[in-house]
């Protein structure tokens, strides 16, 4: 949103919450209703690339519409290229537009589990960069567009310089902010931000924060995304904002509220 850019320039601390579409939505809606009182700058809904595109378009945009029109929240919809033709993308964007959404996190997506390698869908998009370009072409400035960044590398690309070049291409194509993959190594993140700045990336970079609620799933996720976990990472969280000119935190809530609230309380970011 416009506010994100303004807050960033004025060094105002803020945060956002990420949700995924659950099987049954009522519990999550009750939770969103409570969490909106904490005043997140925006909430976003992930794109579950596992299902059929038609059904995903409907379930995701329904949730975006509920958050936007039902709860009056600024919303950001994730959208991936996996399994999506240009027509599917058009349908998703048009429903998001009608649902009051003003922001898209444009992603390539991962390969479906049954495929080893990622492949573009016929009449679809190859890279997130191409999706960014398309959204800009079609909708002008209506949507703010965010993209994904990888402080610890991407499973398909471990060369940091190359990854930063690809990140810059997405921003040059019309994206205006970056949300990172989760990480627990703050020093590495800050070095990476410096490197992005050296390479001419000027847009807000938002750290993605995955609170730990369950040890087994934490370990599984960290392995899957190839994330390094230094022993002292929790205590470092509090210093991250001053050091890296980081003013906005993005919480992967996994649709639960408690651990996010604990962190926000510790950082004194929720008005009581
Ligand atoms: P891209 O930036 O397109 O990069 C994909 C690969 O292609 C990289 O290896 C990159 O180096 C390479 N590449 C890029 N440009 C070029 C080029 N010009 N030439 C050659 N190679 C190139 N996944 C979901 O399915 N749903 C979600 O909701 C979702 N949300 C996410 C949110 C965040 C904040 C993050 C960090 C990730 C999310 N993901 C999600 C995962 C994401 O889809 C995967 O990490 C995916 O593998 C890469 O997506 P990307 O948008 O970064 O792709």
Ligand 1 atom having least distance to the Cα of 47:
28
User: For 92-116, how does the pLDDT look when each residue is reduced to its tens digit (9 = 90+)?
Assistant: 999 999 999 999 999 999 888 778 8
49 lines ligand 1 (CB under 6 A): yes
46 lines ligand 1 (CB under 6 A): yes
pLDDT for res 53: 81
* Whether residue 271 has pLDDT greater than 80: no
pLDDT for res 241: 62
pLDDT for res 224: 86
Ligand 1 atom having least distance to the Cα of 182:
36
Provide the pLDDT confidence category of residue 242 given band limits of 50, 70 and 90. Answer: low
pLDDT for res 58: 93
Provide the pLDDT confidence category of residue 269 given band limits of 50, 70 and 90. Answer: confident
84 lines ligand 1 (CB under 6 A): no
User: What is the average pLDDT across 162-182?
Assistant: 97
User: For 208-232, how does the pLDDT look when each residue is reduced to its tens digit (9 = 90+)?
Assistant: 998 877 767 777 888 888 888 886 7
Percent of the chain with pLDDT over 90: 68
Provide the pLDDT confidence category of residue 268 given band limits of 50, 70 and 90. Answer: confident
| The total number of residues written for the chain in this structure | 272
* Whether residue 20 has pLDDT greater than 50: yes
- C-alpha 38/C-alpha 140 separation (Å) is 32
Exposed/middle/buried for residue 122 (C-beta within 10 Å: 0-12, 13-18, 19+)? exposed
User: For 37-64, how does the pLDDT look when each residue is reduced to its tens digit (9 = 90+)?
Assistant: 999 999 999 998 667 788 899 999 999 9
- C-alpha 187/C-alpha 106 separation (Å) is 27
Q: What is the pTM of this model?
A: 0.92
* Whether residue 158 has pLDDT greater than 80: yes
- C-alpha 246/C-alpha 195 separation (Å) is 15
- Gap from CA of 163 to ligand 1 centroid (Å): 10
pLDDT for res 239: 56
Provide the pLDDT confidence category of residue 234 given band limits of 50, 70 and 90. Answer: very low
* Whether residue 265 has pLDDT greater than 80: yes
Q: Nearest Cα to 100, choosing from 146, 131, 61?
A: 61
- C-alpha 67/C-alpha 83 separation (Å) is 25
* Whether residue 199 has pLDDT greater than 80: yes
- Lowest mean pLDDT segment, chosen from 73-87, 165-179, 215-229: 215-229
47 lines ligand 1 (CB under 6 A): yes
pLDDT for res 235: 52
pLDDT for res 238: 45
Ligand 1 atom having least distance to the Cα of 146:
34
Closest residue (by CA) to atom 17 of ligand 1? 166
pLDDT for res 237: 44
Is residue 104 within 8 Å of residue 79, measured between CB atoms?
Answer: yes
Whether 18 is catalytic:
yes
pLDDT, greater one: 174 or 186: 174
């Amino acid at each position: 949103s416009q506010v994100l850019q303004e807050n960033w320039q004025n060094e105002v601390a803020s945060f956002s919450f990420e949700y995924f579409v659950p099987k049954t939505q009522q519990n999550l809606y009750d939770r969103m209703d409570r969490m909106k009182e904490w005043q997140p700058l925006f909430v976003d809904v992930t794109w579950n690339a596992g299902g059929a595109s038609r059904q995903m378009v409907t379930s995701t945009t329904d949730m975006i519409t509920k958050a936007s029109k039902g709860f009056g929240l600024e919303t950001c919809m994730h959208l991936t290229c996996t399994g999506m033709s240009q027509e599917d993308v058009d349908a998703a964007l048009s429903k998001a537009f009608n649902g009051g959404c003003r922001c898209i996190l444009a992603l390539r997506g991962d390969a479906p589990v049954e495929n080893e390698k990622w492949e573009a869908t016929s009449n679809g998009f190859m890279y997130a960069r191409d999706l960014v370009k398309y959204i800009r072409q079609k909708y002008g400035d209506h949507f703010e567009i965010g993209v994904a960044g990888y402080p610890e590398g991407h499973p398909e690309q471990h060369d940091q310089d190359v990854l930063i070049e690809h990140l810059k291409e997405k921003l040059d194509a019309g994206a205006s902010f970056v949300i990172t993959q989760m990480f627990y190594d703050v020093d590495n993140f800050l070095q990476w931000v410096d490197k992005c700045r050296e390479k001419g990336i000027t847009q807000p970079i938002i750290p993605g924060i995955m609170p730990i609620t369950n040890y087994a799933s934490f370990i599984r996720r960290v392995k899957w995304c190839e994330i390094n976990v230094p022993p002292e990472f929790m205590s470092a969280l509090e210093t991250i904002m001053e050091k890296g000119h980081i003013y906005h935190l993005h919480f992967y809530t996994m649709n639960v509220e408690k651990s996010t609230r604990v962190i926000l309380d510790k950082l004194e970011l929720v008005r009581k």
